[in-house]
Structure 1
Amino acid sequence: MKVIRLVLGQLILLFNAVFSPRSLKRDEEQQDKVNQAVAQLKLYQFDACPFCVKVRRTAKRLSLPLETRDAKQPEHEKELIAGGGKRKVPCLRIEEDNGNVTWMYESNDIIEYLENRFNAA
């Protein structure tokens, strides 16, 4: 089973690289505002997870320099479990200006959040 997962994971990464989406173009001032807002977001993920790839593709399409954290690394895994409550990816850590932190699971929910927040920005 591990071999199948490894092969499928590499295929997913290959297809993602070959068929990478185009990035949204914004003027410099708009992109700076987006970059500042995105600095408060962290995506906990696994490289070859198809749901994580789906979220990263959306971030690329929306020109979001989203920080990714590999949940296989012990320090990131601990952060994910301590903050979000479970070791499940993808998970988006959203830090509000007031310091409140929300942990969002489910790729479709994360994509909807990113599109609603940044598509018109």
Structure 2
Amino acid sequence: MKIIRVVLGALILFLDWVFTPKSVKRSAAFQKQIEQKVKGLTLYQYKSCPFCVKVRRELKRQSIRIPLKDPKRDEVAKTELLDGAGRLKVPCLKIVEGSNVRWMFESSDIIEYIRMRTL
């Protein structure tokens, strides 16, 4: 089973690399506004998870840069995700708004949230 996961993961990463989406071009001022709107967001993800790839591709399409953390390879990120969200599931978007912290799972929900936030 591990061999299948390794092969599929490599295939997913290869296809993601071959078919990388084009980024949206914005003026510097508008891009800065977008970056302010996504401030406080962090994506917890695994490199070869297909749902994580889906979210990262949308971020690339929209020219949105947010911190990415990999709880599989980073013990601090793993602890943050377990302590904050209560489970080790990716993709997970950490949303910090002032002193309020929310955790959002499900790739489609994350993509929709980011689209609505950056309108």
TM-score bracket, normalised by the shorter chain, equals over 0.9
Ranges in structure 2 where 5+ consecutive residues have no aligned partner: none
Give the share of equivalent positions with the same residue, in percent: 51
Residue in 2 that maps onto 1:81: 82
Residue in 2 that maps onto 1:42: 42
RMSD between aligned residues? 1.0
- Asked if the contact 1:39–1:67 (Cα under 8 Å) also holds between the matched residues in 2, the reply is no
In the alignment, is residue 94 of structure 1 matched against residue 99 of structure 2?
no
Quote the Cα distance in structure 1 between the aligned partners of 2:69 and 2:39: 13
In the alignment, is residue 59 of structure 1 matched against residue 59 of structure 2?
yes
Quote the Cα distance in structure 1 between the aligned partners of 2:67 and 2:28: 20
Post-superposition Cα deviations, 1:78-102, rounded to whole Å, max 9, x if no partner, equal 0001111110000000111x22111
- Asked if the contact 1:70–1:76 (Cα under 8 Å) also holds between the matched residues in 2, the reply is yes
Ranges in structure 1 where 5+ consecutive residues have no aligned partner: none
- Asked if the contact 1:44–1:68 (Cα under 8 Å) also holds between the matched residues in 2, the reply is yes
Report how many residues are paired.
118
Give 1:36 deviation, angstroms.
2.5
Q: TM-score by structure 2 length?
A: 0.94
Secondary structure (helix, strand or coil) at the match of 2:95 reads strand
Secondary structure (helix, strand or coil) at the match of 2:65 reads coil
